[in-house]
Chains A and B, each alone.
Chain A
Amino acid sequence: MTKKVGLLTTLFLLGLATVALAQDAGAAEKVEGLRFFMYSAIAAGFGIAIAAFGCGIGQGIAVKSSVEGIARNPEASGKVTVTMLIGLAMIESLCIYALVVALILIYANPVSSLIQGFVGLAAH
């Protein structure tokens, strides 16, 4: 209960911060842009975290089965290892897709020029 209240308070304060920080002409669209970037940054963080969680479990199951196979039949360890590596690369590519989406959210965001102008890095 307290954790949920703490999370909601944090989000509310962040929302207030956007209004407080953008006090000039065209403030409404800057607030919206900043809020969009905030949400996409949060989404990028959570997205890659959940993807890494699932990928870890998947690859763990793959390695478990291959190690059991090698333990049963050490002569087949070459083939089992190659198959395991192929399977691991396939599973890892799913996490890579989520990573690319997270990178797009952070670096190729449509409001990124607005953010850069706001922070002072480039002309908006």
Chain B
Amino acid sequence: MEHPILFLNLLFEKLGLPVVASASEAHSFWQYLLLPHVTYTWVIMILLFVLGAMASKRLEMVPRGGQNFFETVLVGIENFMIDVTGEEGRFAFPVIATLGFFILFSNYMGMVPGFFAPTASINTTLACALIVVVYTHVIGIRFHGVKYIKHFMGPIWWLTPLIMPIELIGHFARVLSLSIRLFGNIMGEELVLAILFFLAGLYLAPLPMMFLGLFTGFIQAFIFCLLSMMYFAGAIEEAH
């Protein structure tokens, strides 16, 4: 696979910092720290901070402009989340919204030439999936204490030796499915774009795929947040 041209890598090379284009060539600690998916995560962090600061600089009772837009979006996400998890799930809203914005922005950053989507690396998506699954268990223990184990035991008590391994494997599969779904979608999109560009770049062949990429970027962020909400709801509610 040919290495794409990345703006931050060019900038770091001009500054003399050790950068490599992919994880297989990294050996020292600084090379690992300056891998593209890490540095572009910082770019998204800075972007989200700047947007949040701009939107909340002077809060007014009757919102206008950027504050209005963000209030609409966030209230929409919050209402959708309360529909899924119920009223006691409101505390988990910042995690969901942050993950949603992060994944949305990083999916769209892959569409811009010269930038790299951090979610196109399995490391970022695995991190997001681990955050969600570990937080699910933390919520379960916080709400139910030791009785959280009843979530894994199934409806009838003598079926427990059969159902408990299946539930545990299911929880591990949640990590795998969340991370690989997001990684596969974004990485596959980039791969198709790279191949189409290599085959027929002059005839603007990647353009329809880029429209599809915008569509799937939004849908994958939405699906990630929806599944996270459903896992949280499953941990909050009583076991059947």
Contacts and interface: CB of A to CB of B under 8 A. Distances in A.
Majority secondary structure, B binding face: helix
B184 interface: yes
A17 B184 CA distance: 34
Contacts of B220: 89
Interface string A88-124: 0110110011011001000100000000000000000
Interface in B170-192: 177, 180-181, 183-185, 187-188, 191
B26 to A, nearest CB: 16
Interface in B102-161: none
B1 interface: yes
A93 B219 CA distance: 12
Contact of A93 (B1, B181, B222, B226): B181
B219 A85 contact: yes
Given A89-B223, A96-B180, A107 B188 contact: no
Given A85-B219, A89-B219, A96 B226 contact: no
A86 B220 CA distance: 9
Contact of A100 (B1, B180, B222, B223): B180
A2 B220 CA distance: 46
Contact of B177 (A85, A93, A103, A107): A93
Contacts of A96: 180-181, 184-185, 188
Contacts of B180: 93, 96-97, 100
Nearest to A93: B181
A86 B219 CA distance: 8
A92 B185 CA distance: 9
Contact of A107 (B1, B183, B185, B226): B1
Contacts of B188: 96, 99
A68 to B, nearest CB: 22
A97 B180 CA distance: 7
Contacts of A97: 177, 180-181, 184
A100 B187 CA distance: 9
A99 B188 CA distance: 8
A90 B222 CA distance: 12
A105 to B, nearest CB: 14
Contacts of A86: 223, 226
Nearest to A88: B219
Interface in B157-213: 177, 180-181, 183-185, 187-188, 191
A41 to B, nearest CB: 15
Between B181, B183, B188, the greatest number of chain A beta carbons within 10 A of the residue's beta carbon is seen for B181
A85 B223 CA distance: 9
Contacts of B1: 107
Contacts of B219: 85, 89
18 contacts: A86-B226, A89-B220, A89-B222, A90-B223, A92-B185, A93-B177, A93-B184, A93-B185, A96-B180, A96-B184, A96-B185, A97-B180, A97-B181, A99-B184, A99-B188, A100-B180, A100-B184, A103-B191
Given A97-B184, A99-B188, 5 more contacts: A85-B219, A96-B184, A97-B181, A100-B183, A100-B184
